[in-house]
Amino acid sequence: MSTQTFKVAGMTCQHCVASVQEELGELPEVTNVEVSLDSGDVTVTSESGISKEAADAAVQEAGYTVAEWSRT
C-alpha cells in the first residue's frame, strides 16, 4: 500500500470535499481518500501509488488545484 498526501486549494464546503473525494476515488488502484476541509489536506491510499499528474488531473476535474505535494 502507498499513501500520498497533498494540499488542495479552493475548497470552501463539504460539497467541495465530496467532489475531490469522488474524482480521486475513481483513479485505478485508489482504495481510500480522506479530505480535510479545514486544512485542505488530502490523503490518498492506493495499491502502488498514483502519479502527480493523475492526482492533478483528478483534482482539476473536481474544479480545484493541488497547492502542495508530499509523499509519505
pLDDT digits (tens, 9 = 90+) for 5-51: 999 999 999 999 999 999 999 999 999 999 999 999 999 999 998 99
Residue ranges covered by each domain of the chain: 2-69
When pLDDT is cut at 50, 70 and 90, the band that residue 69 belongs to is confident
* Whole-number Å distance between alpha carbons of 36 and 46: 18
Burial profile 8-44: b = 16 or more Cβ within 10 angstroms, e = fewer? beebeeeebbebbbebbeebeebeebebeeeebebeb
Q: What is the pTM of this model?
A: 0.91
CATH number belonging to the domain at 2-69, selected among 3.30.70.100, 3.40.640.10, 3.30.360.10, 3.40.50.10860 = 3.30.70.100
What cell numbers appear for 34 in the block?
480522506
